[in-house]
Amino acid sequence: MSQLLINETNHQNAIDWLKRQGNPFRNYFARNPDDEVCSIYHVPELYAREREQLLRVVDQYRYTPNTHSEVVPILGNKGAGKTHLLHSIKHGMEGNWQLLVTPGSYQRDTDFLEYLLFQLLDTLLGGGKQRNSRPLEYVGEQLIRMLLSRTLADLSSEERLDLFPPPGLGWIAKTFGLGSTQALERTQWLIDALSRPSQDAKSPGMVLNLCDEAGLTCNG
């Protein structure tokens, strides 16, 4: 009991000291949401509620895109952690993978839609990464997964056999249908693997890995 009272006293003394001295981070803060300092000193429990609220707002527009758009202001003094919070959403592992465009400033004499389009293209084509992957690489990976899965599903049995011919038998196997069951099973396995939703943005090249595992050679 005495130890608990001492801890509570120390906690209250620390709060009182902070109230008198002010925010110790007011002169040391992240310059932008890509500042790697945020990752070094990130504490997930800090602002966890606020981060979850923002992610819910994003999900609301994801699942109901016709919802009227609004501005969600994030208020706080310098050093309170606003940029750090944005960094945790942009590079953290919470929630679904999403493309975040975080411009630094807006020129008043610029058309807003043109400015927004430029920022979107710059984020896609630039070298910056989100969740350890370039946005263009992640978008391309998901697009290839979808198109390849649909293409394989539309193939006939003979076309699927051409993808996975039995080794060393050549036209004899094709004529007598040898190995057709295995070819169909491999194709179906690859279709199922490609169709499964992937949240792993840290592994670019997953499509090539799946094709290699299935035994499908991809020549670039």
Rounded to whole angstroms, the Cα distance separating 192 from 99 reads 26
Rounded to whole angstroms, the Cα distance separating 188 from 214 reads 10
The per-residue pLDDT of the chain, averaged, comes to 76
Q: What residues contact residue 24 under an 8 Å CB cut-off, 6+ apart?
A: 18, 79
Q: What is the pLDDT of residues 101-135, one digit of tens each?
A: 887 777 788 888 888 888 888 888 887 888 777 88
Q: What is the pLDDT of residues 187-199, one digit of tens each?
A: 888 888 888 765 5
Write down the pLDDT at residue 176. 44
Nearest of 190, 203, 209, 208 to residue 97 by alpha carbon:
203
Q: What angle do CA 137, 142, 145 make, to 5 degrees?
A: 120
Q: What is the pLDDT of residues 30-66, one digit of tens each?
A: 677 777 777 777 778 878 888 888 888 888 888 887 8
**Residue 126, CB half-sphere, CA atoms under 13 Å: how many?**
14
Nearest of 211, 219, 204 to residue 137 by alpha carbon:
204
- Phi/psi of residue 56, each to 5°? -70, -35
Q: Would you tell me the crossing angle of helices 82-91 and 48-63 to the nearest 10 degrees? A: 50
Q: What is the mean pLDDT of residues 57-83?
A: 82
pTM score, whole prediction: 0.56
